[in-house]
Amino acid sequence: MQDDLSALLSASLPGVSLSAGHWRALLPLCKVRKLARGSVLFTQGQATPALFGMLAGEIEIRFSTVDGDVSVIEHVPPGRLFGLSSFASGHPSTFEALATQATRVVAFGPAAYEYLMDEVPGFARTNGRVRTTPSRCSAHARSLAPPQRDGTAQPGAGTARAQWPHG
Chain centroid offset of residue 68 CA: 23
What is the domain extent for residue 70?
Answer: 2-143
Determine the average pLDDT of the residues in 148-161: 41
Task: Tell me the CATH number at 85.
Answer: 2.60.120.10
Percentage of residues in the chain having pLDDT higher than 90? 62
Q: What is the DSSP letter of 91?
A: P
Kindly tell me if the per-residue pLDDT of 153 is higher than 90.
no
By three-state DSSP, how is residue 118 classified? helix
Note whether residue 106 is domain-resident. Answer: yes
d(C-alpha 18, C-alpha 156), whole Å: 40
Q: Is residue 42 part of a domain?
A: yes
Q: What is the pTM of this model?
A: 0.75
Beta bridge pairs of residue 3 = none
Question: Is residue 93 in a domain?
Answer: yes
Q: What is the pLDDT of residue 160?
A: 34
Query: Do the domain assignments include residue 157?
Result: no
Indicate whether 149 belongs to any domain. Answer: no
Cα–Cα distance, 34 to 111 (Å, whole number): 21
> Kind of pairing, strands 51-56 and 30-35?
unpaired
Place 161 in a pLDDT band, splitting at 50, 70 and 90: very low
* Average pLDDT estimate for 71-85: 94
For residue 123, pLDDT over 50 is answered with: yes
Phi, psi at 36, each rounded to 5°: -80, 160
Provide mean pLDDT across the span 13-33: 94
Closest CA to 161 of 73, 34, 84: 73
Residue 151 lies inside a defined structural domain of this protein: no
- pLDDT score, position 127: 66
Question: 20 in a domain, yes or no?
Answer: yes
Number of domains present in the structure of the chain: 1
Q: Which of 17-31, 58-72, 115-129 has the lowest mean pLDDT?
A: 115-129
Determine, yes or no, domain membership for 167: no
The per-residue pLDDT for 125 is 73
| Beta strands 96-99; 81-82: pairing state | unpaired
